[in-house]
Amino acid sequence: MNADSESVDWRQLREFAAVDLSQSYVLSWHLEGDSLVADIDIHLTPEHPFYEKPRPAEKHCIRPAYIEFPYCDKIARDGQQDVEQLSDTVESLKHGRIDELRARDGEYEIRGEFGTVRIIAERPILRLKNG
């Protein structure tokens, strides 16, 4: 990330209002046109408009969703400096729990059980899946 400006935690981004990314899980990564898409199970907080009280066997309100990074120019994983084809990099990304998402000047860094992924793209879009 660019050292000249301060990074912003995901909790300060309007796209992630009323969700808890640190209790969410990346299921897979793929490209759709010029967008990087992370399929996730996202933890909704009670303030979210689609929050539902968890069933007795559940602890949290978890819903299927995805985070889209439109107009993705670059993806790097775990400190990688050499630019590979976007599709090669995406195929090598793993799944797992999300620990953190930070933003700075069009660059996003998402860390979790899958390692660290740096993305240069437009602002992310969070969408819940139907059903």
* Cα(119)–Cα(110) distance, integer angstroms: 8
Instruction: Give the pLDDT band (50/70/90) at residue 82.
Output: low
**2 pLDDT more than 60:** no
pLDDT digits (tens, 9 = 90+) for 103-114: 999 899 999 999
Give, in order, the Cα–Cα distances in Å from 21 to each of 45, 53, 56, 113: 10, 18, 22, 13
3 state DSSP class of 14 = helix
Question: Sign of dihedral through CA atoms 105, 37, 62, 23?
Answer: negative
What ranges do the domains of the chain cover? 8-128
Residue with the bigger pLDDT between 76 and 126: it is: 126
User: Where does the pLDDT of residue 65 fall: very low under 50, low under 70, confident under 90, or very high at 90 and above?
Assistant: very high
Per-residue pLDDT reduced to its tens digit, 17-46:
999 999 999 999 999 999 999 999 999 999
